[in-house]
Chain A
Amino acid sequence: MIAYIIRRVLYAIPILIGVNVITFFLFFVVNSPDDMARMHLGHKYVTPAAVQNWKEEHGYNKPLFWNAGAQGMDKFTDTIFFDNSVRLFAFDFGQSDSGRDIGYDIHQRMWPSLAIAIPTLLIGLLINITFALLVAFFRATYIDVWGVIICVTMMSISGLFYIIGGQFLISKLLHLVPISGYDTGLNAAKFLVLPVLVGILSGIGNGTRWYRTIFLEESNKDYVRTARAKGLSERLIQYRHILRNALIPILTGVVVVLPMLFMGSLITESFFSIPGLGSYTIDAINRQDFAIVRSMVFLGSVLYIIGLILTDISYTLVDPRVRLES
């Protein structure tokens, strides 16, 4: 098991190098530091001296990959690639283009993101599984047919409408909770209710339909037929046999997204002005702060790979037949 995990972590390194090369290529080769400087300083009336100055301030005045003028190891380390990409491996994110410490910002903004993402995930999971069980229990009846049609309709509505509709109905018409904002400590609760509610609601269509398929697939298996042949009641079969076995694909599906919860939701956080990592990313995109976007790309890939590894491990934990040695 431990050997397997170590091997998987080692496999992750070339992938992260690949991610870094791609982002570096996108941000520095296609789009040279000169372009960036001109973009930040405004396109017209920029003197070459101002461009040089901006590059020097941000440390972008070095060679891209290979510093021929330096001595020894500095030939490799005193370059933009080393400064901006290799350092990411040590989670040293450096400074944003506006001069703030990115690592500190990420640390600060992680918590509001989690405060929304975790309740949304857990309550949403519970609701979706309940609905899916209900619909699957009444399979091939009108409840099932209409349940699926409602699910398809709900998932055909863009998430943006759920947010705008929720804000309008609950905050503007009913004045139950503030429209947007954030506070520290327990005071945050009143700001979190609406985003969590909207997040759950917009996920119901997709989630219920997906879990219904899992339940139906499971209920076509032989052991269910055996249980029925033994004369077990339909309710017992549903809860004791189908639900338990269906939890394997459901839980492993949840494990994949667990690490990504840190990244927060771009849209929700920006609509509700919550100072999480999602709105951090959006602000960076809008301000064209390449340093932050680059850091978030790296962080996102790391979390994605952790999610994949966790999924494989969780398979062995919930299903003893799966072995990881191969």
Chain B
Amino acid sequence: MSLPFDYVLLKTDLLFYILILAALGYAFYASRHEHLLTPWKQVVRRPLGMSAAVILTLYLVIAILDSIHFYPRLEGQDSNGGGEYATEIISAFDVLAAPLRKHQEKTYSAPFATHLYSKEVVNLPGGGTRRVYPRLQYGGAALDNPATQEEADILHRSLVGAGQALLAWAAAVLLLVVLRTRQQRVSLRRCAADMLAGRTDVPWRSLLATLAVVALLIGISINLCTAYHIFGTDKVGEDVFYQALKSIRTGVLIGTLTTLVMLPFAVALGIMAGYYRGWIDDAIQYIYTTLSSIPAVLLIAAAALLLQVYMAEHANDFTSLVVRADLRLLFLCLILGITSWTSLCRLLRGEVLKLREVEYVEAARAFGVSNPVILARHLLPNVMHIIMITVVLDFSGLVLAEAVLSYINIGVDPTMNSWGNMINSARFEMARDPIVWWSLASAFVFMLGLVLSANLFADAVRDAFDPRLRQEQAGW
């Protein structure tokens, strides 16, 4: 008896799981402490912030699905015998997106195309050859006569997808309205009218509107992507939509793991420097001034060069391309963490310098509470808002940094799906005639979706957590 898959735990997967568990743990802890919950309740009231949160959740779900890796069992093996496993690592997301992954064409094809983007020589049945645009193997393969049938087919599939999406959405809305009606003991009509008019604490109207848009996009794209390449195919014929979706994990991981890596150092050193002062402060200040005075890009480049040398020397240790790319991703997160912890450390030091003079810290000292306990129980909770704001604000910057670094070849592994690599390859595609624009366009759309919603969410979090801004309630 063997499992249908052989589970693999990549290093970045493990860290990502730890991060998610930590976030869940924090959510559980915060839900039982009123003072931690208050700012979050404010975040929840912001329409724009909540709409952004819906989209972020979608990205996060895809990233999580794409972080469960295993070797699939080769087909054609009996289920209870000792099956053979494939040598290629795939993820749970790959299983869901199997049609996208397997629909491989020969080379470039435009979005919704039924023919290749370049001419090929074909043998005519009656002898002789001609140069034509050959039909795609998968894109619109079900159509007999693409020129006349394609539009109708696309419209039909879109309508079916939209219908399914709206049905699911309507069911969710109905469930929500019924639940709220029972909870608040008002009439069904009153409850629905309140939500429609935006008279609720939680901005259900914008939340549900965003959800409707997201559902429509998902429904339509699922129905279309199995029959067409909705974002075209790239040079080796891989579906660009699939690449853009796979890049989500890279972007999300770089934005979150970097923070996870740098947070312990920044928090511990920053609080210690502010609290102990004296030579400890001097030493910590020296470390972070030195590190931050090295240009970040050059430090990253230096580290990336080192890793390349290391990998070239130890080429035999990496059994699979995925493992190799994974190590490089982890290393990039580490290096980005080293270059980005200094600003948080400096902020925390400044805040703790002020806090250590406050009465409750003095009282704790007078009671003979030991220094480590003061640091952990009295100072840390009171600088939490700075940490929270920095973490959320840094995320979008890191996603953008990945694209730039991959562009100058010091980012993630070239074999790894990432928006930076897509943009990098698009440089040559833009110079072709006629130009190949779809790789660039899809990287643009997917990146903008993640970064914009992260920025909007970060704004909501900052406004709720920053005590200086707390009095002036922003209206949107």
Q: 8 Å CB contacts to A: which residues of B423-442?
A: 423, 426-427, 430, 440
Residues in B whose Cβ lies below 8 Å from that of A108: none
B78 at the interface (CB under 8 A from A): no
| Chain A interface residues (CB < 8 Å from chain B) | 14-15, 18-19, 22-23, 26-27, 30-31, 35-36, 39, 43, 140, 145, 152-153, 155-161, 164, 167-168, 263, 266-267, 270, 281-282, 285-286, 288, 290, 293, 296-297, 300-301, 304-305
Q: Of A157, A161, A297, which contacts B294 at CB under 8 A?
A: A297
Q: 8 Å CB contacts to A: which residues of B259-310?
A: 286, 289-295, 297-299, 301-303, 305-306, 308-309
Contacts A39-B309, A263-B295 hold; do A22 and B290 have CB atoms under 8 A apart?
yes
Q: 8 Å CB contacts to A: which residues of B447-466?
A: 447-448, 451-452, 454-456, 459
Q: Which residue of B lies closest to A160 (CB)?
A: B423
**Do A19 and B290 have beta carbons less than 8 Å apart?**
yes
**Do B451 and A156 have beta carbons less than 8 Å apart?**
yes
| Chain B interface residues (CB < 8 Å from chain A) | 286, 289-295, 297-299, 301-303, 305-306, 308-309, 312-313, 396, 400, 403-404, 407-410, 419, 423, 426-427, 430, 440, 444, 447-448, 451-452, 454-456, 459, 475-476
Seed contacts A153-B448, A158-B423, A293-B302; 6 additional CB < 8 Å A-B pairs: A30-B306, A153-B452, A156-B455, A161-B423, A290-B305, A293-B298
Q: CA of A30 to CA of B302 in the docked complex: distance in angstroms? A: 11
Residues in B whose Cβ lies below 8 Å from that of A288: 305, 308
Residues in A whose Cβ lies below 8 Å from that of B289: 15
Q: Which residue of A lies closest to B297 (CB)?
A: A266
Residues in B whose Cβ lies below 8 Å from that of A30: 306
Contacts A267-B407, A285-B408 hold; do A15 and B447 have CB atoms under 8 A apart?
no
Main secondary structure of the interface of B (DSSP, over half): helix
Q: Of A14, A27, A282, which contacts B302 at CB under 8 A?
A: A27
Q: CA of A242 to CA of B127 in the docked complex: distance in angstroms? A: 83
A-B interface, 7 closest residue pairs, ranked by CB to CB distance from nearest: A300-B295, A18-B290, A156-B452, A156-B451, A301-B293, A304-B293, A285-B301
Contacts A160-B407, A267-B407, A282-B408 hold; do A22 and B294 have CB atoms under 8 A apart?
yes
Minimum Cβ distance to chain A for residue B438 (Å): 14
**Do A266 and B293 have beta carbons less than 8 Å apart?**
no
Contacts A263-B295, A267-B408 hold; do A26 and B423 have CB atoms under 8 A apart?
no
Q: Of A22, A36, A152, which contacts B456 at CB under 8 A?
A: A152
**Do A296 and B298 have beta carbons less than 8 Å apart?**
yes
Minimum Cβ distance to chain A for residue B106 (Å): 26
Q: CA of A31 to CA of B295 in the docked complex: distance in angstroms? A: 20
Q: Which residue of B lies closest to A152 (CB)?
A: B455
Contacts A18-B286, A27-B302, A31-B306 hold; do A301 and B295 have CB atoms under 8 A apart?
yes
Residues in A whose Cβ lies below 8 Å from that of B440: 161, 164
Q: Of B294, B303, B419, B444, which contacts A301 at CB under 8 A?
A: B294
Q: Which residue of B lies closest to A282 (CB)?
A: B408
Q: CA of A296 to CA of B299 in the docked complex: distance in angstroms? A: 10
Residue pairs across A and B with Cβ atoms less than 8 A apart, 12 shown, are: A15-B290, A19-B290, A39-B309, A153-B452, A158-B403, A160-B404, A164-B423, A167-B430, A266-B408, A293-B305, A297-B294, A300-B295
Q: CA of A285 to CA of B294 in the docked complex: distance in angstroms? A: 16
Residues in B whose Cβ lies below 8 Å from that of A145: 476
**Do B293 and A305 have beta carbons less than 8 Å apart?**
yes
Contacts A22-B294, A300-B298 hold; do A161 and B306 have CB atoms under 8 A apart?
no
**Considering residues B295, B312, B426, B448, which has the most beta carbons from chain A within 10 angstroms of its beta carbon?**
B295
Q: CA of A293 to CA of B295 in the docked complex: distance in angstroms? A: 11
Q: CA of A36 to CA of B312 in the docked complex: distance in angstroms? A: 11
Residues in B whose Cβ lies below 8 Å from that of A168: 430
Q: Of B291, B306, B404, B476, which contacts A26 at CB under 8 A?
A: B306
Residues in B whose Cβ lies below 8 Å from that of A19: 290, 293-294
Residues in B whose Cβ lies below 8 Å from that of A282: 408
**Do B455 and A304 have beta carbons less than 8 Å apart?**
no
Q: Of B295, B408, B456, B459, which contacts A297 at CB under 8 A?
A: B295
**Do B459 and A152 have beta carbons less than 8 Å apart?**
yes
Minimum Cβ distance to chain A for residue B317 (Å): 15
**Do B423 and A43 have beta carbons less than 8 Å apart?**
no
Q: Which residue of A lies closest to B291 (CB)?
A: A22
Q: CA of A158 to CA of B404 in the docked complex: distance in angstroms? A: 8
Q: CA of A285 to CA of B419 in the docked complex: distance in angstroms? A: 21
Q: CA of A301 to CA of B292 in the docked complex: distance in angstroms? A: 8
Residues in A whose Cβ lies below 8 Å from that of B303: 26
Q: CA of A35 to CA of B302 in the docked complex: distance in angstroms? A: 14
Q: CA of A288 to CA of B409 in the docked complex: distance in angstroms? A: 11
Contacts A15-B289, A15-B293 hold; do A281 and B298 have CB atoms under 8 A apart?
yes
Q: Of B301, B447, B454, B475, which contacts A293 at CB under 8 A?
A: B301
Residues in A whose Cβ lies below 8 Å from that of B294: 19, 22-23, 297, 300-301
Residues in A whose Cβ lies below 8 Å from that of B407: 160, 267
Contacts A15-B293, A301-B295 hold; do A164 and B306 have CB atoms under 8 A apart?
no
Q: CA of A23 to CA of B298 in the docked complex: distance in angstroms? A: 10
**Do B305 and A14 have beta carbons less than 8 Å apart?**
no
Q: Which residue of A lies closest to B437 (CB)?
A: A168
Residues in B whose Cβ lies below 8 Å from that of A263: 295
Q: Of B286, B312, B408, B475, which contacts A43 at CB under 8 A?
A: B312
Q: CA of A35 to CA of B455 in the docked complex: distance in angstroms? A: 43
Q: Which residue of B lies closest to A304 (CB)?
A: B293
Residues in B whose Cβ lies below 8 Å from that of A36: 309
Q: CA of A282 to CA of B304 in the docked complex: distance in angstroms? A: 13
**Do A23 and B302 have beta carbons less than 8 Å apart?**
yes
Residues in A whose Cβ lies below 8 Å from that of B403: 158, 160
